[in-house]
Structure 1
Amino acid sequence: MGRGDTAADNAVTNAGDWAGRSLGERTVAWTERDAILYALAVGAKAGELDLVHEERLRTLPTFGLTLAQWGPDALGAAGAFDTSRGLHGAQRLEVLAPLPPSGELTMSAAVEAVWDKGSAAVFEVRVDSACFVARWSIFAPGAGGFGGERGPSGPRTAGESATHTLPVETFPEQAALYRLCGDRHAIHIDPEAARAIGQERPILHGLCTMAASLLVLARGIGAHPADLRAASCRFTAPVVPGDVLELAADVAGGGAAFEVGRAGTPVLTSGLARFGEG
């Protein structure tokens, strides 16, 4: 549970007016059980004891994104965009310090930028803490056309230069398990809610697909997943729990450009990841 302030709901004439606005501060606490549940939800194996056993636990850095989810949620709750139409377009994470197996963390959130894509706006929400900096890109249809800048283009992807090709095996219960980590939106569990957004079945959380892919990438290149130092990607297509995905990565040193697809359809693009030591 978190505690703290939310953004003041002042009058806003267009999406661009949200740029620079504070979304408040919140302190969030977690336990070893939360960190272990998260690791299992994104694909950790029972034999990876330092991810699933409290006596030697190392917390996955992407767990911080579940702790910071209140930031973009606060923007939607403040009325910046239509939450029934808004899409999670991209995610970035910079790791500053390891998350302990259990603890409490104070975070602050703000709208770092708002880009004008014409028919839509993209809100860049930044959440700062002592352990990480996280940035959400929220694509909001119908909120563009306010005369702002279009924003930067995406980074390179692995493409044909891939040095590693690895399977990312999701499992049928994965969305049902991952939602217990905090994001309980009905589209991830209720077939009727999924059909309302044009999906035949409930879909996997984008952040779960990202974390599962990073876990596979770390294993594939011989890095420890808890040694992740930075990661980013764009979300381009939904994943259904149980899908087997293919990760292609161009690895150089401790870093990798990657993309993830399903039967030739990209689901994560413009992926970048960097790992360090201990």
Structure 2
Amino acid sequence: MTASPWRGRDLGTRTVSYTERDAILYALAVGARASDLDLVFEERLRVLPTFALTLAQWAPDALGALGAFDIRTAVHGAQRLTVLGPLARSGEVSMTARVAEVWDKGSAAVFDVEVASERFVATWSLFAPGCGGFGGDRGAGAPKRPEKPADQRLAVTTHPDQAALYRLLGDRHHMHIDPEAARAAGMPRPFLHGLCTLAAVTLPMAQRLGAHPADVVELEARFAAPVFPGELLDVHGWQDGDAGLRFETSAHERTAISGGRIRFRSTRPTGGPPIQEEDHHA
């Protein structure tokens, strides 16, 4: 096998600061409500672990700026997050980033960009058309959907203005706000950030498991199709131990998130049998 010249590339170190306002804005952007005081009120604030992904967004952007792939056609294929400790209400996070691996998919390549800090390790998998064919390893295939019926089913309503709000957290790619940029990317209209969709469905999953959404310790998923602001998401979840779920998310019967897996630090009894359907608003 031949390794890509980008494999192992050091993307540098960066320290990013944030305030309580940033963490609260993030919680609101991914679906927290005014009544979720420990997510939106500074006196009780617990920072959602997925907020770390907005702080580390510089790393995949840096790789694109170096010319590893065409930023106009590359897409976010998958995301992994391992939480090592809680984020403070405000402060700064020092991170180092590197290209952990480059997978050869033939006509395309997948770049795994790993960002590490004392609080988390996050990996972006970026699908880049036209960058494959260098003789490298293809990597693992997509995980299979569980064959048994889902243990949980949740309905999550996204907001028509959600992409416009979420992009204020750092990912300002034009395709999420500008109709012309979205059409240039092959989409009929601006679409929701994959990381916003992913974070939005973690909130009701935490509630269903009797966990706190700030207690996520592991999260991973593949982005299979776009979600458009205002669409209803259908989440299917399969119990994965006492504090975890495997899940898939669809919108209008097209799979948007596949191979999902989430685990929480702890759960509490829900006081009754599993509920098969719930309606939540993102």
TM-score range normalised by the length of the shorter chain: over 0.9
Unmatched tracts of structure 2, length 5 or more: 268-282
In the alignment, the residues of structure 2 paired with residue 141 and residue 20 of structure 1 have an alpha-carbon distance, to the nearest angstrom, of 20
Contact 2:3 2:136 in 1 (8 A): no
In the alignment, the residues of structure 2 paired with residue 197 and residue 70 of structure 1 have an alpha-carbon distance, to the nearest angstrom, of 21
1:233 aligns with 2:233: no
In the alignment, the residues of structure 2 paired with residue 52 and residue 18 of structure 1 have an alpha-carbon distance, to the nearest angstrom, of 40
In the alignment, the residues of structure 2 paired with residue 121 and residue 265 of structure 1 have an alpha-carbon distance, to the nearest angstrom, of 24
Contact 1:42 1:208 in 2 (8 A): yes
Residue in structure 1 matched with residue 279 of structure 2 by the alignment:
none
Shift of 1:21: 1.1
Contact 1:15 1:121 in 2 (8 A): no
Deviation readout 1:20-41 (Å, 9 max, x if unpaired): 1100000000000000000000
Shift of 1:159: 5.1
Counterpart residue type for residue 58 of structure 1: R
Aligned residue pair count: 265
In the alignment, the residues of structure 2 paired with residue 32 and residue 60 of structure 1 have an alpha-carbon distance, to the nearest angstrom, of 12
In the alignment, the residues of structure 2 paired with residue 276 and residue 57 of structure 1 have an alpha-carbon distance, to the nearest angstrom, of 18
Shift of 1:216: 1.7
Structure 1 segments (4+ residues) deviating >6 Å? none
1:211 aligns with 2:222: no
Match of 2:185 among 197, 202, 205: 197
Shift of 1:158: 4.5
Residue in structure 2 matched with residue 145 of structure 1 by the alignment:
133
Going from structure 1 to structure 2, the CA distance change for 1:92 and 1:136 (only over 3 Å counts) comes to same
Counterpart residue type for residue 112 of structure 1: A
Q: Counterparts in 2 of 1:1-278, with a 5 A limit? A: 16-158=4-146, 160-251=148-239, 252-277=241-266
Question: Percent sequence identity over matched residues?
Answer: 59
Mean alpha-carbon deviation: is it higher for 33-42 or for 196-205? 196-205
Residue in structure 2 matched with residue 10 of structure 1 by the alignment:
none
In the alignment, the residues of structure 2 paired with residue 143 and residue 15 of structure 1 have an alpha-carbon distance, to the nearest angstrom, of 13
In the alignment, the residues of structure 1 paired with residue 22 and residue 217 of structure 2 have an alpha-carbon distance, to the nearest angstrom, of 21
* TM-score between both structures, scaled by the size of structure 2: 0.91
Counterpart residue type for residue 152 of structure 2: H
In the alignment, the residues of structure 1 paired with residue 166 and residue 147 of structure 2 have an alpha-carbon distance, to the nearest angstrom, of 29
Contact 1:60 1:226 in 2 (8 A): yes
Mean alpha-carbon deviation: is it higher for 152-161 or for 252-261? 152-161
Shift of 1:157: 3.5
Shift of 1:277: 3.2
Unmatched tracts of structure 1, length 5 or more: 1-13
Shift of 1:215: 1.2
Shift of 1:110: 0.2
Counterpart residue type for residue 272 of structure 1: R
Counterpart residue type for residue 86 of structure 1: A
Mean alpha-carbon deviation: is it higher for 198-207 or for 225-234? 198-207
Mean alpha-carbon deviation: is it higher for 232-241 or for 247-256? 247-256
Deviation readout 1:154-178 (Å, 9 max, x if unpaired): 3343454310000111000100000
* TM-score between both structures, scaled by the size of structure 1: 0.93
Going from structure 1 to structure 2, the CA distance change for 1:127 and 1:96 (only over 3 Å counts) comes to same
Going from structure 1 to structure 2, the CA distance change for 1:88 and 1:33 (only over 3 Å counts) comes to same
